[in-house]
Amino acid sequence: MDNLLKHLTNFKFGGSAKKIITAESEIELIATLKDLKFKKAKYYILGGGTNIIANDKGYKGTIVKISASGLKIENQKILCEAGLPLRKLVNAANSAGLSSLETLAGIPGTVGGAIYGNAGAYGREISEFLKKVKIFDGRKIKWVFNKDCKFGYRESVFSAKGGKKPWVILAAEFYLPKGGAQKLAKKSKEIIKIREKRYKPGLRCAGSIFKNVLAKSGKIPAGLLLESIGAKGMRIGGVYVPRQHANLIVNNGRGKAEEAKKLIDILKQRVYRKYGIRLKEEVQYLGF
């Protein structure tokens, strides 16, 4: 095994990690984390790798890939593990006639990754009907209630300070309002259709690169600011901003993480020079 991070991330960037451990169950995950802590080893938690720019020089630590993916539905309650693909959670909720997750259809990655960044789309965020999150804090397993997760726009207590808090999301409990199964499935299908025009299946990217800007007057789409500074069509080596989406960077397959980072810096500088606004990345860096 070459341990290449590019095989684990949607952007397809990244050199070798020292070690990659895939935790298929909560027990395996806790044992792994305890062992890493005991050895004072450096590690990084990875879900689906869909929001990551991994360093081409690799990562001098252990990647812990979360794959535990149990799911249980009881009336309006859904309990699921962090490694469950978000797609499966959305489908299960729709089929059970439970609403509020249907607009998240098409967001790639795992439930844990979505909670970390409070993923959202089409006016909804994953945190809205999330009751509590089960975490491992490095010593103990505990449940954190929604209000203590400090959810905000694309952020949470888990991502605060760049995820420096050693909290690993193990599972989540949702309590969802009832809805019509057929209607929910139809909505998700429609959204996926729209999204696939923007994000062609297999596109090497991490979705939106920057967060929208929260201003007193409301949310300013980062894409609008980027479009106005001429982002569309900009290119460095093998990475480029496509014509259809100014807040997106795509790897043509020969691109480097360094090139993406350079392009991000230039875009930030140009927006700052024109508007005095500092764009913040939604994408996470691994190994930089």
Ligand X SMILES: Cc1cc2nc3c(=O)[nH]c(=O)nc-3n(C[C@H](O)[C@H](O)[C@H](O)COP(=O)(O)OP(=O)(O)OC[C@H]3O[C@@H](n4cnc5c(N)ncnc54)[C@H](O)[C@@H]3O)c2cc1C
Give catalytic residues, as residue numbers: 154, 208, 282
Q: How far is the CB of 207 from ligand X (least distance, A)?
A: 2
Q: Determine if 255 is a binding residue for ligand X (CB under 6 A).
A: no
Give the Cα separation of 204 and 253 in Å (integer). Answer: 7
Single residue of 68, 206, 209, 241 touching ligand X by CB under 6 A: 206
Cβ closer to ligand X: 28 or 97?
28
Stretch of 46-54, 184-192, 234-242, 259-267 lying at the interface with ligand X (CB under 6 A): 46-54
3-state secondary structure of 65: strand
Q: Write out the two tokens for 43.
A: 């590690």
Q: Determine if 47 is a binding residue for ligand X (CB under 6 A).
A: yes
Residue indicated by tokens 């960037």? 13
Cβ closer to ligand X: 117 or 287?
117
Single residue of 55, 100, 127, 284 touching ligand X by CB under 6 A: 284
Cβ closer to ligand X: 168 or 229?
168
Beta strands in the chain (DSSP E): 17-23, 43-46, 52-54, 59-66, 71-74, 77-81, 120-121, 124-125, 130-136, 141-145, 168-175, 213-215, 218-220, 235-236, 239-240, 250-251, 284-286
Looking at residue 257, the DSSP 8-state letter turns out to be: H
Cβ closer to ligand X: 275 or 285?
285
Residues within window 96-115 making contact with ligand X, judged by CB under 6 A: 107-110, 112-114
Cβ closer to ligand X: 52 or 270?
52
DSSP-assigned beta bridge partners for residue 59: 17
x/- letters, 154..183, toward ligand X (CB under 6 A): ----x----x----xx--------------
Give the Cα separation of 41 and 38 in Å (integer). Answer: 8
3-state secondary structure of 98: strand
Q: Write out the two tokens for 58.
A: 């690799």
Looking at residue 167, the DSSP 8-state letter turns out to be: -
Single residue of 13, 151, 199, 210 touching ligand X by CB under 6 A: 199
x/- letters, 48..77, toward ligand X (CB under 6 A): xxxxx-------------x-----------
Q: How far is the CB of 276 from ligand X (least distance, A)?
A: 26
- What dihedral do alpha carbons 115, 165, 162, 103 form, nearest 10°? 0
- Amino acid identity of residue 169, one-letter, is I
Q: Determine if 223 is a binding residue for ligand X (CB under 6 A).
A: no
Using CB under 6 A, list all residues that contact ligand X. 10, 45-52, 66, 82, 107-110, 112-114, 116-117, 119-121, 158, 163, 168-169, 199, 205-207, 284
